[in-house]
Amino acid sequence: MTRFYITTPIYYVNDVPHLGHAYTTIAADALARFHRAVGDDTRFLTGTDEHGLKVEQAAAARGLAPLKLADQVVERFRDTWKQLDIANDDFIRTTEARHKQVVADIWKRIEAAGDIYKGSYEGWYCVSCEAYYGEGDLVDGKQCPVHKREVTWLSEPTYFFRMSRYGDRLLEHFEKHPSFVQPEGYKNEVVSFVRSGLRDLSVSRTTFKWGIPVPGDEEHVIYVWIDALTNYMSALGPIGGELHRRHWPATCHLIGKDILKFHAVYWPCMLLSAGLPLPGTVFTHGWWTVRGEKISKSMPATRVDPNRLGEDIGVDALRYYLLREIPLGADGDFAYEALIGRYNAELANDLGNLVSRTLTVATRYCAGAVPARSSERGEQAHVEIEQVAREVIPEAHGHYSGYAPSRALEAIWRLVREGNRYINNTEPWKLAKIHTRNEELNHIVRMALEVLVCVARMAAPVMPKTAEQILALVGMVGERGQEAMRRWPQADRFGHELELGAPLGPSTILFPRIDEARQAALLEAWIPEDARTDRETGDRQQATGNRRQEAVEPSGDEVTFEQFGKMDLRVARVLTAEPVPKAKKLLKLTVDVGEAEPRQVVAGIAEAFRPEELIGRSVIFLANLKPATIRGVTSQGMILAAGADAVLGLSAVDRELPPGTRIR
């Protein structure tokens, strides 16, 4: 059986959980849920980092003993994870006896390998980083390069870890295990750091007491990073014990980029010295800013409270947004408006509509019970929907396995949209009037329900509550529902998952649309008063289309210059525009493309533009797209617009040019 052991960093207890912590933990949770669903022997660990000067000082500032502070803050973390539906298998605190025992054990192993020696250390120390810096690392003379906080000069006797011994072996390990540090960009950073030469590491402190004593020398406490990193192992009990043998080495340490060096250099060197296997992957995710600013205690506007968002907009919506908005590994900027935008477009519209309309037709035409599929439905629409589902299942599987939940969701939403398109195109309400086509009507409803089952199961790692709700609505309750939740769908079973005649739930609105008034009220509640001016600037930016800084993944498919040259792109001017009857999203346009006669095109932009806004505008036009008939209207080309899902803007040229001008 494949093993999958994933960890989050353990969070310092000098701070309460914020969006950044929530992001790492939600991502790890989704990956763990996926691996459980595909049957891997999965373990997911999170916890808290409770020793060190930073925590000692934070406690002193509150007049508390460090453990007292830890006891209080740890409850905030536990509550937040519960509220955000985090299903961790274990929670480790570094003040627990089981942890201290393994830290002492690892220390002794490193010592036995001849890699610990006593010396003295002098240098500039940053308490926020809990690390020493060389003169050359400092910025503006005396500030640490990470926090821009004043560093202090410390001089103390210390034990050193002979890390310098392990540079070559580490480089060799990187070579042999190319996926040890992911994504690639971070790997290069680590490799060049190691290549520049590793120095021995000071691994004990005498200037404060809040830590684990060095075995055999109680004057010293063990450096907090040596202590903290060991949590990944100590949570499995004694080295060589049952849990340890079953789960070590960890498959993936998921971390933020701020702590890459500790995980990809210090930790593996410690393990090499202790003679223990190295983790499979250190996966570094990106950094969330809030309106371009780093999240920090001193700036209330950047402190996004995940509990509050979960309460107001739904935990699954928050989980979906965080994992869909940026690919794991890329940085992103958090904007409340973008959260609401995705909520409305992808949850309320795409998924919510599919659920409510499927159940509406099922209630109306199939007496609220799962209808039969018909065996021979060769028509294109029916074939296509099954095909898309069968493609998406392995595709989403591949993306989750490859630490790309954002792409997995993108693939799953292709099926959601295809489901909506299927209902639009097959028009079950029309068939209901023709009793000879009853069998086909049943088939359509059945397929739409099967799409819901499939979508729910694939989205379950990210949206567990929503998945459960959808499964209950389509009659998968009790053991059957539980089983469906716990298992990843099989492509060849698509279309055969539901039980004939099982009772269906009523048409339900899972994600009520957030209208403008509600949006205004939410923003008012979420954005602290002293940050409102920022918000207005943000609104202005949004109005000009500068909605968010979105990290975009390369598509992976390259085209040659020649292939690109085959596209006949031109300037076109819109001559007329009118709605297409009964098609909310479509407009019928005629455009001048520089030819003798105007062309007629159908464009899916009706939700973003009123017809009269378009007339006279110049747009970019793909003139050699194969003509198609959309809703009975011939479309001879395509106008280009911005926005992958919803239309966000229209393509344009920056000056008046005659229709037909080529674009290259």
What's the full length of the chain, in residues? 664
Q: Could you give the CA distance from residue 164 to residue 586 in angstroms, rounded to a whole number?
A: 65
Kindly tell me which residue out of 5, 20, 205, 636 binds ligand MSP, with binding defined by CB under 6 A: 20
b/e per residue 406-435 (b: at least 16 CB within 10 A): bbbbbbbbbbbbbbbebbeebebeebeeee
Indicate whether 49 belongs to the interface with ligand MSP (CB under 6 A): yes
By beta-carbon proximity to ligand MSP, the closer residue of 24 and 426 is 24
The residue behind tokens 């036995």 is 112
Q: Using CB under 6 A as the criterion, what x/- string covers residues 186-225 for binding ligand MSP?
A: ----------------------------------------
Kindly tell me which residue out of 110, 226, 229, 463 binds ligand MSP, with binding defined by CB under 6 A: 229
Quote the least distance from Cβ 213 to ligand MSP, whole Å: 19
Indicate whether 24 belongs to the interface with ligand MSP (CB under 6 A): yes
Indicate whether 23 belongs to the interface with ligand MSP (CB under 6 A): yes
Which residue type is seen at 456?
A
Q: Which stretch binds ligand MSP (CB under 6 A): 6-14, 241-249, 371-379, 542-550?
A: 6-14
By beta-carbon proximity to ligand MSP, the closer residue of 250 and 589 is 250
From start to end of 207-298, where are the E strands?
213-214, 217-222, 252-256, 281-285, 288-290, 293-294
By beta-carbon proximity to ligand MSP, the closer residue of 20 and 481 is 20
Kindly tell me which residue out of 102, 295, 388, 591 binds ligand MSP, with binding defined by CB under 6 A: 295
Indicate whether 258 belongs to the interface with ligand MSP (CB under 6 A): yes
Q: Could you give the CA distance from residue 119 to residue 41 in angstroms, rounded to a whole number?
A: 44
Indicate whether 418 belongs to the interface with ligand MSP (CB under 6 A): no
Q: Which of 345, 346, 343, 321 is nearest to 332 (CA)?
A: 321
By beta-carbon proximity to ligand MSP, the closer residue of 47 and 314 is 47
Cα three-residue angle 59-65-69, rounded to 5 degrees: 55
For residue 579, say if its preceding peptide bond is cis, omega within 30 degrees of 0. Answer: no
By beta-carbon proximity to ligand MSP, the closer residue of 229 and 484 is 229
Q: Which stretch binds ligand MSP (CB under 6 A): 227-235, 271-279, 437-445, 523-531?
A: 227-235
Q: Which stretch binds ligand MSP (CB under 6 A): 16-24, 164-172, 462-470, 502-510?
A: 16-24
Quote the least distance from Cβ 289 to ligand MSP, whole Å: 7
Quote the least distance from Cβ 189 to ligand MSP, whole Å: 15
Q: What is the DSSP string of 280-299?
A: SEEEEE--EEETTEEP-TT-
* Residue 360, burial from CB neighbour count under 10 angstroms (0-12, 13-18, 19+): middle
Kind and range of the H or E run holding 126:
strand 116-126
Q: Which of 518, 562, 580, 123 is nearest to 339 (CA)?
A: 518
Q: Which stretch binds ligand MSP (CB under 6 A): 21-29, 38-46, 355-363, 408-416?
A: 21-29
Indicate whether 259 belongs to the interface with ligand MSP (CB under 6 A): yes
Output phi, psi for 147, to 5 deg: -100, -10
Task: Give how far the C-alpha of residue 31 lies from the chain's centroid of Cα atoms, to the nearest Å.
Answer: 10
Output phi, psi for 463, to 5 deg: -125, 70
Kindly tell me which residue out of 228, 252, 392, 623 binds ligand MSP, with binding defined by CB under 6 A: 228
SS3 assignment, position 107: helix
Size of residue set near ligand MSP by CB under 6 A: 19
Whether residue 70 contacts residue 14, with contact meaning beta carbons closer than 8 Å, is answered with no
Indicate whether 11 belongs to the interface with ligand MSP (CB under 6 A): yes
Q: Which stretch binds ligand MSP (CB under 6 A): 8-16, 401-409, 622-630, 647-655?
A: 8-16
Kindly tell me which residue out of 10, 59, 181, 323 binds ligand MSP, with binding defined by CB under 6 A: 10
Indicate whether 255 belongs to the interface with ligand MSP (CB under 6 A): yes
By beta-carbon proximity to ligand MSP, the closer residue of 131 and 593 is 131
For 132, 209, 272, the CA distances from 122, given in Å and listed in that order, are 9, 19, 27
**Ordered alpha helix ranges (H), 551-661:** 561-565, 611-614
**Secondary-structure breakdown of the chain: helix, strand, coil percentages, each rounded to the nearest 5:** 45, 20, 35
Kindly tell me which residue out of 67, 101, 109, 287 binds ligand MSP, with binding defined by CB under 6 A: 287
By beta-carbon proximity to ligand MSP, the closer residue of 103 and 571 is 103
Q: Which stretch binds ligand MSP (CB under 6 A): 56-64, 228-236, 313-321, 553-561?
A: 228-236
Residue 571 is encoded by which pair of tokens?
A: 């300037």
Measure the CA dihedral 447/448/450/451, to 10°. Answer: 120
Kindly tell me which residue out of 12, 44, 266, 609 binds ligand MSP, with binding defined by CB under 6 A: 12
Indicate whether 5 belongs to the interface with ligand MSP (CB under 6 A): no
Q: Which of 133, 173, 137, 127 is nearest to 282 (CA)?
A: 173
Indicate whether 17 belongs to the interface with ligand MSP (CB under 6 A): no
Quote the least distance from Cβ 39 to ligand MSP, whole Å: 28
Residues with active-site annotation: 18, 21, 126, 129, 144, 147, 294, 297
Q: Which of residues 551-580 bind ligand MSP (CB under 6 A)?
A: none
Indicate whether 291 belongs to the interface with ligand MSP (CB under 6 A): no
Quote the least distance from Cβ 13 to ligand MSP, whole Å: 8
Q: Which residues bind ligand MSP (CB under 6 A)?
A: 9-12, 20-21, 23-24, 49, 228-229, 231, 255-256, 258-259, 287-288, 295
